Chain A
Amino acid sequence: EPEVTQTPSHQVTQMGQEVILRCVPISNHLYFYWYRQILGQKVEFLVSFYNNEISEKSEIFDDQFSVERPDGSNFTLKIRSTKLEDSAMYFCASSDGQGRYEQYFGPGTRLTVT
């Protein structure tokens, strides 16, 4: 069964450093999303992406964040200058974009900012 994959599974970085989280959405899916979950809190929406542009973003998704589809299979989330409060699980999700709206999530990347 097709699934969303994410790398790395765990990333440790120092405050102020840039990180790139990588995702491979389900093949042939056209809508891509990033969510995050701070330990003990709700899963929160960050951004959605379709047709090579952002279609929706939350107030969390400020200028420190960016997303990119660098090739036909990868979808990345970049955090330019990490803060302690960016420590969370980051989940990538995808939808087929062709009439089925279900969002399928990857296993997540645990980001630890020290």
Chain B
Amino acid sequence: QKEVEQDPGPLSVPEGAIVSLNCTYSNSAFQYFMWYRQYSRKGPELLMYTYSSGNKEDGRFTAQVDKSSKYISLFIRDSQPSDSATYLCAMNSGGYQKVTFGIGTKLQVIP
């Protein structure tokens, strides 16, 4: 079983739609959860960083963590064409430890 599983997509949605992106993980040691956005051939850009189970909101983005189910989600409200990118879930066991990434979900928002 892979440590972090993420559907690579692609996922196509119309502009203005609510986007739901998800990851599952198997390692119970993971305590910190991140979402990065990556444009083609660019570096990952940190969008959300969470620790506890529950929701964290930042503008149009909401990160959700369910540690009991080992399941994390990122919701994007009112999606825009500029949101078209690959979204990487990532996690680690804490502190300054290495981050383990999912494969990334490619999102296309169609005008």
Contact = CB atoms under 8 A, between A and B. Distances in A.
Interface of A: 4, 6, 31, 33, 35, 41-45, 48, 50, 55-56, 58, 89, 91, 95, 97, 101-108, 110
Interface stretch (B13-21, B54-62, B75-83, B96-104): B96-104
A97 B103 contact: no
Contacts of A104: 46
B contacts with A: majority SS:
loop
B74 interface: no
Q: Which of the listed residues B41, B46, B96, B102 has the most CB atoms from chain A within 10 Å of its own CB?
A: B96
Given A58-B98, A97-B96, A91 B103 contact: no
Given A104-B46, A108-B43, A42 B96 contact: no
Contacts of B98: 33, 45, 48, 56, 58
A31 to B, nearest CB: 5
Contact of A50 (B32, B96, B104): B96
